[in-house]
C-alpha cells in the first residue's frame, strides 16, 4: 500500500491539480532537463505532493516507485537539482522540469541517465 498523500489531500494548487492527467497510481512522469545545456538528464515520477514540494521548495522531489517514498534529488548523494522551471505538456500528462544540476544526475554516476549508448535506428 502506498504511503503517498492522496491527491485530494495534497497542497497542490487546485488549478494545477485539475490540469494533471495521472496514471492509475496517481503519478505523472517528469522529464528532467539541464537548464543551461538542454540535455535530458533523467525521468522521475511525481504525484501531487511531490510536485507541490518541488514548486514550493525549488528542489526536485520525486516519488520512488520501488521504495514507495518521496525523495529529494541529492539529499543523500549531494547531486542536487535546483529547479529553474516546471512546465506541463499540452495533454497534462507529462512534466518538464528544468534544473541546475550539481554533479551527476544518474545513480550510476553518469551525468545523465541516457549515457549508456544510443540504439541503432535502421529506417
Sorted by where each begins, the domain ranges of the chain are: 14-101
How many CA atoms lie within 13 Å of 78's alpha carbon, on the beta-carbon side?
2
**In what helix (H) or strand (E) does residue 15 lie, and over which residues does it extend?**
helix 14-19
Contact 29, 22 (CB under 8 A): no
7: left (phi over 0), alpha (psi -120 to 50) or beta: alpha
C-alpha cell at 66: 520501488
C-alpha cell at 2: 502506498
What are 16-55's pLDDT values in tens digits? 999 999 999 999 999 999 999 999 999 999 999 999 999 9
**Sign of the CA dihedral 94, 33, 16, 23?**
positive
- Choosing among 2.40.128.20, 3.30.1330.60, 3.10.20.810, 3.40.30.10, the CATH entry for 14-101 is 3.10.20.810
- What is the band of 1 on the pLDDT scale with cuts at 50, 70, 90? very low
Average pLDDT, the chain: 91
Amino acid at each position: 500500500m502506498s504511503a503517498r498523500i492522496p491527491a485530494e489531500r495534497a497542497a497542490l494548487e487546485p488549478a494545477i491539480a485539475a490540469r494533471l492527467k495521472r496514471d492509475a497510481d496517481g503519478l505523472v512522469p517528469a522529464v528532467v532537463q539541464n537548464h543551461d545545456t538542454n540535455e535530458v538528464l533523467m525521468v522521475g515520477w511525481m504525484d501531487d505532493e511531490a510536485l507541490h514540494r518541488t514548486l514550493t521548495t525549488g528542489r526536485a522531489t520525486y516519488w520512488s516507485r520501488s521504495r514507495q517514498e518521496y525523495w529529494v534529488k541529492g539529499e543523500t548523494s549531494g547531486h542536487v537539482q535546483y529547479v529553474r522551471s516546471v512546465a506541463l505538456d499540452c495533454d497534462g500528462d507529462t512534466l518538464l522540469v528544468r534544473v541546475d544540476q550539481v554533479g551527476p544526475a544518474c545513480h550510476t554516476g553518469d551525468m545523465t541517465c541516457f549515457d549508456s549508448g544510443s540504439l541503432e535506428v535502421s529506417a
